[in-house]
Amino acid sequence: MSQFHPDYQANARVKLPIGPNTGDYCHPDLAKLLISHPLIDDYDLSGAEHLNTDVLVIGGGGAGAAAALSATEAGARVIMANKLRIGDSNTVMAEGGIQAAVGAEDSLQQHFDDTIKGGHNAGKKELVAQMVTDAPSAIRWLIGLGMTFDLAKGADSNGMLSRKRAGGTTVPRILSYRDFTGLEMMRVLREAVELDENITQLNRHPAIELLSDEHGRCVGAILYDLEKRSLVLVHTKAVVLATGGSGRLHLQGFATSNHYGATADGLVMAYRIGAKLRDIDSFQYHPTGVAHPPHLAGALISEAVRSAGTKLVNGLGERFVDELQPRDVVAAAILRECREGRGVVRDGQVGVFLDTPRLIENDPDVLNRLVTLGHVAHKCGIDPAVEPVMIHPTLHYQNGGVEINGDGATCVEGLYCAGEVTGGIHGRNRLMGNALLDIISFGRRAGKAAAGCGLPLKKVRGGVGHVHDLQREMTRAGLTSDIKAPVLYPDYGKFDLREHAGLQEQQS
């Protein structure tokens, strides 16, 4: 089935010519950002505001919030820099649930085996083992913060958490709150962050470059204050990158389920400072994105709908795949049906049908559990009990990212990563429910480790010398580029930082 998956198309990868991953495969669009020019230079920093803190967390989603909370628990003062606002992230879009082996018929070993197999045996076993072992305590921590989970029904349920199957799992393991689990998770994380007096939030402050010292250590970052239109330098003992993925790059021309700020900024900044990446030619295309109407293309329909028993049918009315196979298998099967002429075509859009009418006929209460399905169908202008939803795979998740150890540490001293910006945990395909677990497990670990890292703040001095080093490497290799990165927002956002900030180009 790999011949139909976007990762394996002829134009899907190139070798990186310079940097820590020289010779490794990378998606061409991402490679252009990694081997590019910076948005700013040293001369732009004069007059910039200076801030100091123990730990700088870059990213306002679930991983960033978990890292910030754990850092303050360890006694650190934290600045949390959010590109948009806290919670504006892919976390709130995670609908299906979170995996944790808490059932009597389940085990940590089964969770481990499912995750390794689902990732095509490409995940780092020590990271997977750590994540699945953290899962039960992560659930207890979230419940302690006030998160609500669905409870099992029936006379013998005794208040136990409800569990359901996900694609690629051998037993029911998904814990959820209806079909907006990520939104509920982000609610309690945001409230906890806002109540923590040791966390200073800087909303609408995208990071545009990391700071390094003369020894190559990461000692802070350069932020851009969108409201004041000015640069801010934050010096710190350690940085936690929790910037999320790259879905808004629309790789392979796909629509995406990702939030507006998912433009691979963390990968660009980490690569420039010398962090090694992995599996950056591997991306997840979620099987069930909206295909029609065109203006909603890419909007996510949760895997929870397939877990509830919905079937996929092609334009001939035929079921063509086991819907609870891993996501990459199901997505490839849909793309096969479309490519071989068995799809459904409407207004120039192609896809297949998610047979919601039969699901609702067999389970009339399902829309009370899958609230988001009803909302999406309403936006599409259909009654899901009468008309099936037309779907097509949507760019959903960045499988690879920055290499980390068990504490989220990279090969660059002082730089930690957590969440979708990291690689090695999910291999080359992620199972439903492991993303929300990942951000809590490694977010908490990275925050705690970062709090105990680094030099005394009075000795911290940083600049962008590492950026110049990569520029010189480009020159020696004869590489040219007219791209400046990180891009911060999708190209259709028409955002130019230098123009927005009123920065002048240096005269040669």
Catalytic residues: 327
* Nearest alpha carbon to residue 115 among 102, 105, 104, 130: 130
Instruction: Report the alpha-carbon distance of residue 94 to residue 303 in Å, rounded.
Output: 10
49-58/218-225 β-pairing: unpaired
Report the alpha-carbon distance of residue 293 to residue 291 in Å, rounded. 6
C-alpha triplet 486, 492, 494: angle, nearest 5°: 65
End-to-end, the C-alpha distance of the chain in Å comes to 53
User: 121: which 2 tokens?
Assistant: 């045996």
Q: Is 224 left (phi over 0), alpha (psi -120 to 50) or beta?
A: beta
Residues 36-66, buried b or exposed e (16+ Cβ, 10 A)?
A: bebbbbeebbeebeebbbbbbbbbbbbbbbb
Backbone angles phi, psi at 136, to 5 degrees: -60, -40
Question: Angle at CA 87, nearest 5°, toward 85 and 91?
Answer: 140
**Distance between CA atoms of 321 and 472, rounded to whole angstroms?**
51
Angle of helix 62-73 versus helix 434-451 axis, rounded to 10 = 30
Residue 72 in contact with residue 199, Cβ under 8 Å? yes
User: What does residue 423 show for φ and ψ, rounded to 5 degrees?
Assistant: -130, 165
CA diameter of the chain: 78
Which residues in 74-225 belong to E strands, given as ranges?
78-81, 98-99, 174-175, 199-202, 207-212, 218-225
Among 257, 263, 261, which residue's Cα sits nearest to residue 287?
Answer: 257
Which residues have C-beta within 8 Å of that of residue 314, sequence separation ≥ 6? 320, 337, 342, 343, 344, 352, 353
CB of 276 within 8 A of CB of 410?
yes
| d(C-alpha 267, C-alpha 415), whole Å | 12
For 499, left (φ over 0), alpha (ψ -120 to 50), or beta?
alpha
